[in-house]
Amino acid sequence: MAIQWKGVFPALTTKFTANDELDLDLFGKNLDAQLAAGVAGVIIGGSLGEASTLALEEKAVLVQFAVKRLEGKIPVVLNIAEGATREAVKQTALATQWGAEGLMLLPPMRYKSDERETVQYFRAVADSTDLPIMLYNNPVDYKIEITPAMFEELAACENIKAVKESTRDVTNVIRMRNRFGNRFSILCGVDTLTLEELVTGADGLVAGLVCAFPAETVVLYNLIKAGQIKEALELYRWFMPLLELDIHPKLVQYIKLAEAYTGLGSEHVRAPRLLLEGEERKRISQTIEQALSTRPDLGKYAAVSTNPALSEEMKRLKRIQS
């Protein structure tokens, strides 16, 4: 399946049991909800997926399970986040064997490579595979920025197709478009910048809170892309306290708690992460409960849509929400 790098791509959490084993039943339930909501693809083994704590065998199980469950309806993308180029190339080959249809690729982990080293790392991985690749540009968390000059060098790698834009600089969307046109698809990688980056030209988003609120996320995307900014802004304002859970070091615990509230996941995390407790748990729970108590009726957006096909899609999402 050729990946269309647009629309909503959930950065899936990894579901664990209380015994710290993969919870494939719950993982499957969340996959079903994402598919029903109309996401464009799913990403496994990202930061939100607690990738650094997963064994290679667990990644294989997750990818193969998702590929089988989704039956080719949407693509499965595996995140590659390694310190050594040879290990990144190895996991890229394994991703193909497991059935993944694309990669999300981070710069080298733990070593702050310079521009020349970073470009060579990306080239080595891209040259080793035919899989389409989305680079993850997140200098805030990973300390390495993929600059426009580096993208200029990487443009020769035909299978580097997209970028997850997480620099927190909204003008980067304009900067990339001005320099490269549509050579690279741009996906917003920060939940709290969803509207701003989609309005300025991003093609889609790699989202976190979609794990707990798939229908709301897809409706927000559809409204913005349909140019219904007034309605999108109303939904975005409701969503913002939840979206802010995505920009905290404990985003995994926060979003998993939200998933538990909506029935699409559990709180179980893998050590060294621990379950939330005390005042912190109370505060995050209050945020989620407040959002649920004022959860918008998605059906009303179908009523105002000027696009008949989009109106029918929003009615369908309203039924899912209910």
Q: What is the pLDDT of residues 226-279, one digit of tens each?
A: 999 999 999 999 999 999 999 999 999 999 999 999 999 999 999 999 999 999
> Average pLDDT of 112-126?
97
> How do the domains of the chain map onto residue ranges?
7-321
**Percent above pLDDT 70 for the chain:** 94
- What does the chain come to in residues? 322
Model pLDDT, residue 301: 83
| Residue 316 DSSP SS3 | helix
For 186: left if phi > 0, alpha if psi spans -120 to 50, otherwise beta; the answer is: beta
pLDDT at 306 exceeding the cut of 60: no
Q: What is the pLDDT of residues 291-302, one digit of tens each?
A: 999 999 998 887
pLDDT at 182 exceeding the cut of 90: yes
User: What fold characterizes domain 7-321?
Assistant: TIM Barrel (3.20.20)
> Average pLDDT of 133-149?
95
Model pLDDT, residue 137: 96
pLDDT at 308 exceeding the cut of 70: no
Contact by Cβ (8 Å): 237, 35: no
Q: What is the pTM of this model?
A: 0.95
Mean of per-residue pLDDT scores for the chain: 95
- What gap in Å lies between CA 67 and CA 21, rounded to an integer? 20
- Displacement of CA 163 from its chain's centroid (Å): 12
Looking at per-residue confidence, does 199 or 308 come out higher?
199
pLDDT classification of 309: cutoffs 50, 70, 90: low
Looking at per-residue confidence, does 92 or 322 come out higher?
92
| Residue 146 DSSP SS3 | coil
